[in-house]
Amino acid sequence: MMEHINWYPGHMKKTRELIAENLKMVDAVVEVIDARIPFSSRNPIIDELVKNKKRIIILNKSDLSDHEANQEWEQYFRKRGNLVLTMNCMTGGGAAQLLKLLSRLQEEKNRDQVRKRPYRLMIVGVPNVGKSSLINRLTGKKSAPTGDRPGVTKGKQWLNLPGNMQLLDTPGILWPKFEDPKAGLNLAFCGSIKDEILDVATLALELISVLQRDYPSLLRERYKLEEISETPLETMEAIAMKRGCILPGKKIDYDRIAKVVLDEFRAGIIGRITLERASHE
């Protein structure tokens, strides 16, 4: 289920308080981000919120992102003192590594203790990065508990993980970077905020503009284009011709081809693409 939350100041304040409260009970925070847009898919004040807790950053959807870029981002976050893992929470790729890493942390915590306490975790991230999928992967359940709207406190529940570890059942849903227009675009490309923010044709045109700059050969191969045109609009029209997205009167069906390109990008069909590189941040 995609979460479309209407963030307003009161909501954000409540979320902040809830996370602060939960933080007191956990040993580590697992921050899930979208590996295609690691910068845009991070909450703007995440560092301030989490402060000095141990942090594990999950570069999720790494099946959709550029392999080389994944490695750069891993390095980027590691250099800044985080633990980092690439994952695919849809198939469970990386889950074993994460459990191994957590169990090492659990042992460190309990090394000199007579009574071994569970190592406690919470998951945080903006909507659609894969928080629920991660919970399901770790607990082996089909569906994570719902009702995970910020500010709605239910009785806290700890889900038991193998190896004396416990996970808070509801993830901390953080607000996205909606004040940064570039981040807004990236989130919209990845389907993490509503398409209505821009009309679908304009959104696709923006995406094509990025793709023809950074991944021209993937674009050419996918849509069997002889060459990449000068302007994104020409490229979009060439793709529309190839796909037969033509209206009566030989007009281009911009909305239809826009949906095709966006859907194929989001599903990883155009190729493995990362929209933000660590070297540019």
Q: Residue numbers of the site for ligand GDP (CB under 6 A)? A: 3, 60-61, 63-64, 87-90, 125, 127-133
Quote the least distance from Cβ 131 to Mg ion, whole Å.
Answer: 5
Which partner from the list ligand GDP, Mg ion, none does 63 bind, CB cut-off 5 to 8 Å by kind? Answer: ligand GDP
Encoded tokens for 216 = 């021209």
DSSP 118: P
Quote the least distance from Cβ 61 to ligand GDP, whole Å.
Answer: 4
Which partner from the list ligand GDP, Mg ion, none does 253 bind, CB cut-off 5 to 8 Å by kind? Answer: none
Nearer to ligand GDP (CB atom), residue 99 or residue 246: 99
Which backbone phi and psi does 257 adopt, to 5 degrees? -70, -30
Q: Please name which of 93, 196, 174, 193 lies closest in space to residue 137, comparing C-alpha atoms.
A: 93
Which backbone phi and psi does 263 adopt, to 5 degrees? -60, -45
Which partner from the list ligand GDP, Mg ion, none does 22 bind, CB cut-off 5 to 8 Å by kind? Answer: none
Which partner from the list ligand GDP, Mg ion, none does 125 bind, CB cut-off 5 to 8 Å by kind? Answer: ligand GDP
Nearer to Mg ion (CB atom), residue 62 or residue 132: 132
Encoded tokens for 161 = 């993980």
CA dihedral of residues 41, 44, 49, 54 (deg, nearest 10) = 50
Instruction: Kindly list the residues in this chain that would bind Mg ion in the complex (CB under 5 A).
Output: 131-132
- Longest CA–CA separation in the chain, Å: 80
Nearer to Mg ion (CB atom), residue 117 or residue 156: 156
Quote the least distance from Cβ 113 to ligand GDP, whole Å.
Answer: 33
Quote the least distance from Cβ 205 to ligand GDP, whole Å.
Answer: 24
Q: Is residue 167 a contact partner of residue 106, using CB atoms and an 8 Å limit?
A: no
Encoded tokens for 104 = 């090492």
Q: How far is CA 179 from the centre of its chain?
A: 18
Quote the least distance from Cβ 279 to Mg ion, whole Å.
Answer: 31
